[in-house]
A and B are shown apart, each in its own frame.
Chain A
Amino acid sequence: MLARVADSLYWVGRYVERAEHICRLSDVMLNATLDRTEAAAQVARIALAAVGDPEAEKAASPYAVATALVLDREDPGSIVTSLSRARENARQVRDQITTEAWERLNLVFLRMTGADAGKAFADGSQAFLHDTIADLHLFKGAADATMSHGEGWRFLLLGVYLERASLIGRLLEVCFGDGRRRPLGDHFALTSVLRMSCALEPYLRRYTADIQPRSILQFLLLDEEFPRSIRFSTAQIEEHLSALTRYGPSAGQASPERLAGRLKARLQYADIDELEALGASGFLTTVGDECAAIHQAIYETFVAYPLELRLPA
């Protein structure tokens, strides 16, 4: 597979996952605005911080913030930007994506950039976001069901899971990091965090309606089976990378596969009591840094490798 193509597929995965995550954050934030409580403002602040916007005063007008997050083409972090980039990358490798998967992605893009997108969002923000998330699920499903589960598909999923691990890591850092003035205790805020990671129902099934910060941290960070937990994501990253390196020669010490294996093991053997005692912040920072290192290593191994090392003898 062409290096440029692998790179594009990887970014399709990352942008699609990012768009989906921000849809969910906006949705929860808008939902929270229906209540005029301190907890609702707190949820808005969490969502803002999780998308990397630290300006706390914006939390006073969550609707305007959500509108910008969804539809502002100038904002590099908005959903419309992520979707445009995902679709642009997909268009560059149109020959590598099945028509079924392409149609799904193209459809979301056309709806989000269409002339009546603003009106549709204003008329029913939650329905609009809900449909977008559902369409993105359809894209992932179509890719899974119709693309060969070979190199290209693995690069796509590598992007999805690496992005997911980073995004959930950021969300957990905001909620449970040491920087917080006081621990998150409000029931509404806690369930909102679970909603932001699409984890409420699976959480309830695992821990019942006993909603505790410690259990949330354990679930989103260390659960083995929940597909949006960081542990699950890193296991997927490791699996796809080890499959990908089978296609070609290993890149030695800096190989992304080794880095992913180490991160996977770190999460596999982490202990929640230890984390609580030491504070989650340090651990989450390590996870973030290692995700960034894996990203860099993928790039150096598969995409932008030095030609001198690969010339035929």
Chain B
Amino acid sequence: MELGVATAQRSDEATIPILAIGPYDEMTGSAGDVRPHYAALETRIETLTAAELAERQRVLERFFLLQGITFTVYGAESTTERIIPTDLLPRIIPADEWDRIEKGLTQRLRALNMFLADIYGDQQILMDGVVPRDLILAAPSYRREMQNLYVPHQAYANVCGSDLIRQPDGSFAVLEDNLRVPSGVSYMLANREASKRTFPGTFRGAGVMPIDRYPDLLLSTLKGMAAEWRPNAQVVVMTPGVYNSAYYEHAYLARLMGVPLVEGRDLVVHDNMVYMRTTTGLRRVDIIYRRVDDDFIDPLTFRRDSGLGVAGLFNAYRAGNVVICNAPGTGVADDKAVYAYVPEIIRYYLGEDAILPNIETFLCREPAQLSHVLANLDKFVVKAVGASGGYGMLVGPHSTQKQRDEFASAIKADPENYIAQPTIQLSTAPCLIDGAIESRHVDLRPFILSGEKIVVTPGALTRVALKRGSLVVNSSQGGGSKDTWVLSGDQEVQP
């Protein structure tokens, strides 16, 4: 399953060879000392033999396989199912660091929701010239159809999954915002189930913040988006179907929230009302948590050739008879070029400095920055603004002169379509690899819910680049995941 892109890497390239230990290790300090919040886990691991660890890993994998937490590999000979590689050693984040992450993410999403409300409303920020008008209005992810449409609580991105990385100095920075249909939360929950089985004693002693309320919080966030006159709002999860790589997650969330999992073909629109076809006739739907991209939700409004959506859905939305979550058009705020403006956006709406910094980003649309980028192509990672999934990317330090020349002419031809960032560094965390414990690169994807209020679940998906030295944490390219323990500090842990 594709969980989105976190790192600079051409998808067709081999791994990037770098030092085995990154500039910052989650467990070990620069002097080789074990960080205090890792001490208990480290002690526990030392009492286990390699065989015992391997056995626990086997039990863990069996748990995932039985649960059907798998993706399908279609081969020439036969079709097999694989589990997403999962590492049994948890990644641990102490309370004070989490506190900062939580505040930073809350601030960021508040500002981004205000930004979306503004650009789909009066466009004050564009008038004031803080963000270039053409950057927004010409973006493919900008949806003209959303203009002046009422969105309750101005909560456009009800579910947000941001990718954070830890910089060499130990501070966290935002690499990417995902405001469209972020995935991976089921792995966060499943990894937790698994690690409770793997290290029950250490888990109990550590005081880990619980995350199992996520489905609950998601449901109340969604219900909070309903019109007041619909007291028993019918919520559904909309999936592209069983062949989607994130299908397991869609079914998982529907099951844990206790709401129907629908496909486009289960829904009909009549008189601008949305209904689902049940065994006893048509039943009104109020809120759709859709896991289908904007482009595909309504063939009458967006892509005509989409068979995944429902004809007339968007008109029903405009008429206020149904709520689509996340709102269509949120993608304009996680665009790679808009990303560079997020600190400005936060300052504009909230009058505050960003708590979580961005990665330094150069916009090729600005002539001064363009010439700097072109002069230093071998030092930068250049990304096409519209592309995602690791495509359309140049990793400067690992490129050939020919690749750089090709990219330089592509950038000059269409500078607005490119941004450049310095090669990022990821922190490393201990992982169990072939029976030994080795360091691998990790990132962090927490999940933020916004409805009436913004809630950050105290946990995250930690994605792991399982190949030695690799910076690629994408599951499609040899990435895995591990549980993330957020410690409660000295507060009492909720039983």
Contacts and interface: CB of A to CB of B under 8 A. Distances in A.
A311 B281 CA distance: 8
Nearest to A246: B280
Contact of A91 (B242, B266, B268, B280): B242
Contact of A103 (B66, B263, B275): B66
B281 A151 contact: no
A276 B81 CA distance: 52
A127 to B, nearest CB: 22
B8 interface: no
B257 to A, nearest CB: 9
A110 interface: yes
A116 interface: no
A3 B273 CA distance: 19
Contacts of A244: 279
Interface stretch (B18-26, B247-255, B457-465): B247-255
Interface of B: 65-68, 78, 80-81, 241-242, 247-248, 251-252, 254-255, 260-263, 265-266, 268, 270, 273, 275-282
A224 interface: no
A311 B67 CA distance: 39
Interface of A: 1-6, 73, 88, 91-96, 99, 102-103, 106-107, 110, 113, 151, 155, 244, 247-249, 302-303, 305, 307, 310-312
Contacts of B80: 113
Contacts of B262: 2
B242 A3 contact: no
A2 B277 contact: yes
B242 A88 contact: yes
B281 A248 contact: yes
Contacts of B263: 4
Contacts of A5: 260
A307 B270 CA distance: 10
Contacts of B81: 110
28 contacts: A1-B278, A2-B260, A2-B262, A2-B277, A3-B279, A4-B265, A5-B260, A92-B242, A93-B261, A94-B251, A94-B252, A95-B261, A96-B255, A102-B67, A103-B67, A106-B66, A107-B66, A110-B65, A110-B81, A113-B78, A244-B279, A248-B280, A249-B281, A307-B268, A310-B281, A311-B282, A312-B270, A312-B275
Contact of A247 (B65, B242, B275, B279): B279
A2 B236 CA distance: 11
Contact of B282 (A73, A99, A303, A307): A307
Given A2-B260, A4-B265, A106-B68, A248 B279 contact: yes
Contacts of A113: 78, 80
